[in-house]
C-alpha cells in the first residue's frame, strides 16, 4: 500500500533506522570544494567542541549539539556549504587517570609498566572504549561530516602541534623557567589555574616563634612570631618579611633569625607588600611553595628551597622529616615546636584551599621547571580581534554580548601560559636535552645529535604539552595546517550501533569506534589549501561558558597567530578579520532541573538525556530544548514539556495519515496527486478559496519569522512559531476546513478535490521542511512517505529550507474574521448550554466591508461552529445573549427544550442544598468563640463562601419561579 505509515507514532521504531542511514549514506559529508564550486558557494563551518575521549553524553552536550545541529541543518537547507566537523580530545589528565585506575585494580602502576608500555596501553583503551560519546551523537542524528572525524593525537594533528611548538620557539615565544605551579600530588603534574577548584575549609593559623640572633651571633632571648596555615613549609623558609614601617619591628631591621627545627640563619627582609594587619605582621618566606613568596624571593634575590617531592612527601631538604607525607610532617613539626616552646597560639582560620579539578586532591603550590608561552604578542591580537576596528566592526562577536567583557577582562590580565604537563599521555614536547653542553635542541624532526655541540648524548624532554595546546590549534589544524594536503577521505565513518547497543558499556571488541592513529589514510604533504580556503575562518563556535578561557581564548590566540601567515586564496595578506578562527561565538546556557536547580550528582537531580530520549524519542527532547533555548537564559528542563512535544509529533503523524488516507481514496475514484510535481514553495491561483490563500500566507509568514529567529539564536521563538503554525493553523484550522472539500460521494467535484489535496500536500510537505532541523527523524520518515519512497533527494535534510518570503496579509486578516466569528459562536454555545450536537441558526451584525468575506465562507462557519443558518441583521434581537467585537455582533437563536418536571425537581433539590449551606455558615459565623480563635483568612473565606451560596440560592429560586406551569 502506498504512503505506508504505521498507525501509531513510535520514535524508537524510526530513529535508529534514519540515524544509521544518514551515516552510512554519508549524507552530511562536505567534500573539499573544487575550483568551480568555489566561485559561488558560501560556507557555514562549525567545529564541535571536541568531547574528551573518555566522555559520556550529558544534558549540556545534548543542548549544545541540538543548537549546533539546528543551525547546521538550517544553513545546509538554506543553500550554504555546511560543514560541521566532529572529533574527540585526547584529554591528557582525564584519560591517563582512567587507565591508571584500571592498572591499580590489576595491582599494577604506570611506573611499573614504563612510559612506552603505558602509552600503548592508553591507545589500547582508546581503541576499545574511546569516543563512545560520538556513537551517542550518531544515534542522536547530529548532521556532522563523519568522514572528517579527528582525534587530537592523530598523525596530521600531531604534526601541527609540533610545527606550532617549533615555530613559537624559533620566534622566541617559548621559554623554560622556574615557576610556582599548582602541583597535583596524585596526578603528579602541574595543572593550570583554571583546573584548580577552590574550596572553603576550616583550618588553623599556627603561630611560631623564630629566635632572633643577637649581635654576638647567638640566639637572643627575643623572638619574632610568624603565623602560617601550612607549618610544614617552614622547612623551606629563606627569610621572614615585615613591613618597613611596622613600628613593632623597627628595632629588628637588619637582624637575622634562627629557623626552628632546621637551624638555618635567615634574614629579616623589609617589603611593603606585607600586611601589618594579617596575623602577626611577620611573614615567613618560602619561595618554592607559595606564589607570593616566590615573587618576594625574586625581588629580594633569595634562594628557593623545594622541600617536597612529586607525591608531596618531604624530601632530603627537610632533614629529619624527609620521607614523611606533608600532613604527617605537619603534625610532627607542630608537636616538636611545642616541645621546644616555640609554638605560639593556634587560631581557627577559614581559608580557600585549592583542589585538583580532576581528582580532588589538595593542590600543592610548588616550584618547578616548566615550559611557557610568552603570551603577550598573541594576547594582544586576541584582544584586538574582539574590539571594534576603525570602522566599528569586530572580527569576533560574542552572543550573549556580556561574555565579551568577561573574555577581555581575562585576556587583559593574562599571564604567560605554562604549557608543560608531567604526564605520559599527550604530545611529548619536541625538545632534547644535551648532557654534554646542557643546551636544548628543539626540532621538527627527531634529532640524532645536539644542535649546539654535536654530542649524541641527548634525551627527549619527558613532559607533554597541555591538552589545550593541541585543542587551541584545531581551527587551523583540522583544515590541514601546516602541511596542506590533498583533499581526501581520512576514514570511512562507522555506523552507529543499534538501539540496544548504543547505551551499552562498550565492553566488547566489536564495539570498537574509529581506528587508531596507525590506521590513518595516506598522508600527503602536497600543498593544497582548498579546505583551508573554503572553511577558515569558521563561521560559528557554540560552546559552554566553562571553557571560555581554557579553549575559546586559546583558539583565538593560536588561530590568529598561525593563520595570519597563510595568505588569502588570491595571494594577498590575511587581515585580522580573516585570521580569526571563528567569526561568531555563541555561549549556550545551562540546563537545570524543573525547579531551576543546578543538576548535581550529590543532589541526585541529574537528568540523563539518553533515558529521556528512550522514553520520548530524540525529536521530542530536541524540541523541548530548542523551545526554551535563547541567549543567556538557563533552561529548566521539565519532562512534562517533552511529553507535550511528543504529542506534537504525534499530531503531525496523524495529520500525515489523514492526508495519505484521502490521497488514496481520491486515487480510487481516479484522481491522482503527483508528489513529484510539488512546488518548492506552495502557491495557489487567484481564484482559490480563502483558506488556501490563508494557509499559504500563514506558512510564509511563519517561515519568515523562523528564519529571522534563527539568525538571532532565538531557538525558542523559532520552535514556538513552528509549533503554533503546525498545530494551530495547519491541524486545528486548515485540516478541519479542507475536510469540507473532501467529498468522495457520487456527486464529487473531482477538480475541487484535486485542488484541495494538492494545496494540502504542498503546504504539508513544505511544513515538514520547515520543521526538519528541529525534528529531523519524524520529518524524514513522513517526507519519504509523502513521496512513496521515491523522493526527489536522499533526505529531506538536503532539500531547500522555506526562505524569508512576503505573504498576503489581506488574506490573513480576512481569515482571522472568519476564525473570530467561529470562536465567538463556540464560546456562546458553551455559555448558554447548547447541546454538543445541535446545529443552530445565528444572528450576525457585521460591518459592510466584511460581509462579502463571511458570505463567501459561510460554509466554513456553518461546518466548524455547527450553524444551520446565518441571519444578517441590523441589530441583534435584544432578548438574545450576544458577543461583540469591533467588526461584528453575533448571537445564537436557541430555545432549550426542557423537561419542566425534571427541572423543577432539580431546582428544588438545589435550593434545599443551598439553604442548608447558608444556615451552616450563619451558625459558624455567629459563634463568637470560634470567631475569636479562628485565623482571619479562615473567617474571610467563610464569609465569602456564605455570600456565594446566597447568590446561588437566589438564582435557583428565581429560576424555579420562572418555570412554566406543568402541562
Ligand atoms: Zn589530580
Ligand atoms: Zn650539546
Q: What is the pLDDT of residues 20-67, one digit of tens each?
A: 999 999 999 998 887 666 556 789 999 999 999 888 899 999 999 999
Which H or E run includes 829?
Answer: helix 809-832
Cα 371 to averaged position of ligand 1 atoms, centre (Å): 20
Closest ligand by atom to 458 CA: 2
Using alpha carbons, select from 391, 384, 428 the residue that is nearest to residue 407: 384
Whether the ω angle into residue 73 lies within 30 degrees of 0, i.e. cis, is no
User: Cell 584548580 sits at which residue?
Assistant: 196
**Cα-to-centroid distance, 441 and ligand 2 (Å):** 8
Q: What is the C-alpha separation between 15 and 140, in angstroms, rounded?
A: 8
Q: Which ligand is nearest to the CA of 197?
A: 1
| Cα dihedral across residues 275, 281, 287, 290: positive or negative | negative
Closest CA to 173 of 417, 453, 511: 417
pLDDT of the residue at 32: 84
Nearest partner of 731 among 698, 682, 777, judged by Cα: 698
Dist. CA 440 → ligand 2 center (Å): 7
Quickly count: other Cβ atoms within 10 Å of residue 302's Cβ.
21
Give the pTM. Answer: 0.81
CA of 356 to the centre of ligand 1 (A): 5
Distance from Cα 893 to the centre of ligand 1, integer Å: 81
Q: Report how far ligand 2's centroid is from the alpha carbon of 458 (Å).
A: 8
Q: Tell me which ligand sits closest to the C-alpha of residue 356.
A: 1
Nearest ligand for residue 454 CA: 2
Q: Which residue has the cell 456564605?
A: 946
Query: How many beta carbons lie within 10 A of that of residue 772, not counting itself?
Result: 23
Tell me what the pLDDT averaged over the chain comes to: 89
Measured in Å, residue 359 CA sits from the centre of ligand 1 at: 4
In angstroms, what is the span from residue 143 Cα to ligand 1's centroid? 36
**Do the beta carbons of residue 436 and residue 404 sit within 8 Å?**
no
Give the ligand with the smallest distance to the CA of 435.
Answer: 2
Q: How far is the CA of 857 from the centre of ligand 1 (A)?
A: 74
What protein residues have CB closer than 5 angstroms to ion ligand 1?
Answer: 184, 186-187, 356, 358-359, 361
Contacts of 937 by beta carbon, 8 Å cutoff, 6+ apart: none
- The SS3 assignment for 646 reads helix
How many Å lie between the centroid of ligand 1 and the Cα of residue 660?
A: 61
Query: Which ligand approaches the C-alpha of residue 455 most closely?
Result: 2
In the reported structure, the alpha carbon of residue 495 is separated from the centroid of ligand 1 by a whole-number distance in angstroms of 36
CA of 120 to the centre of ligand 1 (A): 22
CA of 190 to the centre of ligand 1 (A): 9
How far apart CA 407 and CA 409 sit, in angstroms, is: 5
Q: Ligand 1 centre and the CA of 199: distance in Å?
A: 15
Q: Residue 456 CA: which ligand is closest?
A: 2
Selection from 922, 850, 857, 846 nearest residue 885 by Cα: 846
How many angstroms is it from 420 CA to the middle of ligand 1? 15
Q: Which ligand is nearest to the CA of 186?
A: 1
Q: At what angle do helices 59-77 and 618-628 cross, to 10 degrees?
A: 90
Q: Which residues contact 686 (CB under 8 A, 6 or more apart)?
A: none
CA 185–ligand 1 middle distance (angstroms): 7
Q: What is the pLDDT of residue 758?
A: 94
Spans of the chain below 70 pLDDT: 1-2, 35-40, 485-528, 896-898, 966-967
**Residue 94 Cα, ligand 1 centroid: separation in angstroms?**
9
Greatest C-alpha distance within the chain? 133
Q: Which ligand is nearest to the CA of 184?
A: 1
Q: How far is CA 141 from the centre of its chain?
A: 16
For residue 450, report the distance from its CA to the centre of ligand 2, in Å. Answer: 5
What pLDDT is attached to residue 39? Answer: 56
Ligand nearest to the CA of 355: 1
Q: What cell does 437 get? A: 653542553
Comparing C-alpha atoms, which of 182, 181, 191 is closest to residue 94?
191
How many residues are given for the chain?
Answer: 967
Q: Name the closest ligand to CA 447.
A: 2
Q: Given the DSSP bridges, would you call strands 464-465 and 420-421 parallel, antiparallel or unpaired?
A: antiparallel
- Cell reading at 577: 578579520
The rounded Å distance from CA 704 to ligand 1 centre is 51
Of all ligands present, the nearest one to the C-alpha of 357 is 1
- Ligand 1 centroid to 742 CA: how many Å? 70
C-alpha 175 – ligand 2 centre gap (Å): 18
- Gap from CA of 115 to ligand 2 centroid (Å): 25
CA of 198 to the centre of ligand 1 (A): 13
Predicted confidence at residue 527, as pLDDT, reads 43
Nearest ligand for residue 421 CA: 1
Q: Residue ranges of the alpha helices (H) in 301-361?
A: 326-339
* Rounded distance from Cα 187 to ligand 1 centre (Å): 4
Which residue in the block uniquely carries the three cell numbers 530513529? 15
Nearest one of 193, 189, 198, 197 to 93, comparing CA atoms: 189
The candidate with the shortest Cα–Cα distance to 11, out of 19, 3, 1, 2, is: 19
Q: Are 557 and 379 in contact (CB under 8 A)?
A: yes
Please give the distance, rounded to the nearest whole angstrom, from the Cα atom of residue 90 to the centre of ligand 2.
33
354: CA distance to ligand 1 center in Å? Answer: 11
* Ligand positioned closest to the Cα atom of 457: 2
Amino acid at each position: 500500500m502506498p504512503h505506508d505509515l504505521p498507525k501509531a507514532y513510535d520514535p524508537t521504531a524510526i530513529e535508529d533506522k534514519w540515524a544509521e542511514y544518514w551515516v552510512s549514506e554519508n549524507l552530511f559529508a562536505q567534500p573539499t570544494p573544487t575550483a568551480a564550486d568555489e566561485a559561488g558557494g558560501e560556507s557555514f563551518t562549525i567545529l564541535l567542541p571536541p568531547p574528551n575521549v573518555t566522555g559520556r553524553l550529558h544534558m549540556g552536550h545534548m543542548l549544545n549539539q541540538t543548537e549546533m545541529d539546528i543551525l547546521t541543518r538550517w544553513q545546509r537547507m538554506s543553500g550554504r556549504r555546511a560543514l560541521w566537523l566532529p572529533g574527540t580530545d585526547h584529554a591528557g589528565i582525564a584519560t591517563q587517570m582512567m587507565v591508571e585506575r584500571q592498572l591499580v585494580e590489576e595491582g599494577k602502576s604506570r611506573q611499573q609498566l614504563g612510559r612506552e608500555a603505558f602509552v600503548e596501553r592508553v591507545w589500547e583503551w582508546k581503541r576499545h572504549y574511546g569516543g563512545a560519546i560520538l556513537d551517542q551523537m550518531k544515534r542522536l542524528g547530529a548532521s556532522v561530516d563523519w568522514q572528517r572525524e579527528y582525534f587530537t593525537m592523530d598523525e596530521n594533528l600531531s604534526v601541527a602541534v609540533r610545527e606550532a611548538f617549533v615555530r613559537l620557539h624559533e620566534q622566541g615565544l617559548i621559554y623554560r623557567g622556574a615557576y610556582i605551579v599548582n602541583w597535583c600530588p596524585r596526578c603528579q603534574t602541574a595543572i593550570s589555574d583554571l583546573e584548580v577548584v577552590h574550596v572553603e575549609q576550616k583550618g588553623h593559623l599556627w603561630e611560631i616563634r623564630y629566635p632572633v640572633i643577637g649581635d654576638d651571633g647567638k640566639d637572643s632571648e627575643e623572638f619574632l612570631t610568624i603565623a602560617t596555615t601550612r607549618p610544614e613549609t617552614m622547612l623551606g623558609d629563606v627569610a621572614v618579611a615585615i613591613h618597613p614601617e611596622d613600628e613593632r619591628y623597627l628595632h629588628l631591621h637588619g637582624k637575622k633569625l634562627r629557623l626552628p627545627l632546621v637551624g638555618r640563619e635567615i634574614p629579616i627582609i623589609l617589603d611593603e607588600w606585607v600586611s601589618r594587619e594579617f596575623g602577626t605582621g611577620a611573614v615567613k618566606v618560602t619561595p618554592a611553595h607559595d606564589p607570593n613568596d616566590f615573587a618576594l624571593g625574586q625581588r629580594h634575590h633569595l634562594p628557593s628551597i623545594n622541600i617536597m617531592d612529586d607525591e608531596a612527601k618531604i624530601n632530603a631538604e627537610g632533614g629529619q622529616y624527609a620521607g614523611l607525607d606533608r600532613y604527617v610532617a605537619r603534625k610532627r613539626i607542630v608537636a616538636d615546636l611545642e616541645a621546644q616552646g616555640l609554638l605560639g597560639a593556634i587560631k581557627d582560620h577559614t581559608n580557600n584551599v585549592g583542589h585538583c579539578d580532576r581528582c580532588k586532591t589538595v593542590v600543592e603550590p610548588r616550584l618547578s621547571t616548566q615550559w611557557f608561552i610568552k603570551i603577550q604578542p598573541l594576547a594582544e591580537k586576541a584582544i584586538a580581534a574582539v574590539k571594534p576596528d576603525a570602522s566599528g566592526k569586530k572580527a569576533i562577536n560574542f552572543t550573549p554580548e556580556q561574555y565579551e567583557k568577561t573574555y577581555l577582562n581575562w585576556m587583559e590580565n593574562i599571564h604567560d601560559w605554562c604549557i608543560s604537563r608531567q604526564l605520559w599521555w599527550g604530545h611529548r614536547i619536541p625538545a632534547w636535552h644535551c648532557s654534554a653542553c646542557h643546551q636544548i635542541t628543539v626540532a621538527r624532526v627527531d634529532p640524532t645529535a645536539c644542535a649546539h655541540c654535536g654530542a649524541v648524548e641527548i634525551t627527549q624532554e619527558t613532559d607533554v604539552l597541555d591538552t589545550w595546546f593541541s585543542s587551541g590549534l584545531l581551527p587551523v589544524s583540522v583544515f590541514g595546517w601546516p602541511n596542506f594536503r590533498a583533499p581526501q577521505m581520512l576514514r570511512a565513518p562507522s555506523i552507529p550501533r543499534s538501539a540496544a547497543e548504543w547505551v551499552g558499556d562498550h565492553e566488547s571488541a566489536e564495539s570498537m569506534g574509529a581506528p587508531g592513529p596507525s590506521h590513518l589514510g595516506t598522508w600527503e604533504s602536497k600543498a593544497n589549501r582548498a579546505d583551508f580556503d573554503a572553511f577558515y575562518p569558521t563561521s560559528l563556535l557554540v560552546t559552554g561558558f566553562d571553557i571560555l578561557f581554557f579553549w575559546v581564548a586559546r583558539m583565538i590566540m593560536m588561530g590568529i597567530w598561525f593563520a595570519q601567515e597563510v595568505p588569502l586564496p588570491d595571494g594577498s595578506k590575511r587581515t585580522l578579520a580573516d585570521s580569526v578562527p571563528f567569526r561568531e561565538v555563541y555561549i549556550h546556557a545551562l540546563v537545570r532541573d524543573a525547579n531551576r536547580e543546578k543538576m548535581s550528582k550529590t543532589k541526585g537531580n541529574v537528568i540523563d538525556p539518553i533515558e529521556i530520549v528512550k522514553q520520548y524519542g530524540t525529536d521530542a527532547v530536541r524540541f523541548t530544548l530548542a523551545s526554551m533555548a535563547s541567549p543567556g537564559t538557563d533552561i529548566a528542563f521539565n519532562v512534562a514539556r517533552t511529553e507535550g512535544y511528543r504529542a506534537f509529533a504525534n499530531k503531525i503523524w496523524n495529520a500525515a495519515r489523514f492526508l495519505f488516507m484521502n490521497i488514496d481514496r481520491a486515487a480510487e475514484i481516479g484522481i491522482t496527486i503527483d508528489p513529484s510535481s510539488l512546488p518548492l514553495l506552495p502557491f495557489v491561483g487567484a481564484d482559490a478559496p480563502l483558506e488556501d490563500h490563508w494557509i499559504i500566507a500563514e506558512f510564509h509568514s511563519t517561515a519568515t519569522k523562523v528564519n529571522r529567529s534563527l539568525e538571532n539564536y532565538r531557538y525558542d521563538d523559532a520552535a514556538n512559531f513552528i509549533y503554533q503554525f503546525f498545530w494551530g493553523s495547519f491541524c486545528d484550522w486548515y485540516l478541519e476546513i479542507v475536510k469540507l472539500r473532501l467529498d468522495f460521494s457520487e456527486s464529487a467535484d473531482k477538480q475541487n478535490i484535486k485542488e484541495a489535496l494538492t494545496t494540502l500536500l504542498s503546504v504539508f510537505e513544505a511544513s515538514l521542511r520547515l520543521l526538519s532541523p528541529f525534528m529531523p527523524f519524524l520529518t524524514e520518515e513522513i517526507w519519504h512517505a509523502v513521496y512513496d519512497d521515491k523522493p526527489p533527494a536522499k533526505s529531506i535534510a538536503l532539500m531547500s529550507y522555506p526562505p524569508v518570503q512576503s505573504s498576503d496579509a489581506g488574506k490573513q486578516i480576512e481569515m482571522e474574521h472568519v476564525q473570530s466569528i467561529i470562536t465567538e459562536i463556540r464560546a456562546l454555545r458553551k455559555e448558554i448550554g447548547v447541546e454538543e450536537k445541535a446545529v443552530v441558526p445565528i444572528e450576525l451584525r457585521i460591518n459592510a466591508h466584511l460581509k462579502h468575506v463571511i458570505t463567501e465562507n459561510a460554509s466554513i462557519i456553518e461546518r466548524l461552529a455547527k450553524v444551520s443558518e446565518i441571519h444578517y441583521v441590523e441589530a441583534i434581537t435584544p432578548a438574545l445573549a450576544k458577543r461583540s467585537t469591533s467588526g461584528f455582533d453575533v448571537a445564537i437563536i436557541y430555545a432549550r427544550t426542557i423537561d419542566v418536571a425534571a427541572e423543577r425537581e432539580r431546582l428544588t433539590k438545589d435550593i434545599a442544598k443551598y439553604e442548608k449551606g447558608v444556615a451552616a455558615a450563619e451558625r459558624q459565623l455567629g459563634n463568637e468563640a470560634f470567631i475569636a480563635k479562628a485565623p482571619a483568612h479562615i473567617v474571610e473565606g467563610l464569609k465569602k463562601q456564605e455570600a456565594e451560596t446566597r447568590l446561588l440560592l437566589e438564582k435557583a429560586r428565581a429560576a424555579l419561579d420562572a418555570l412554566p406551569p406543568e402541562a
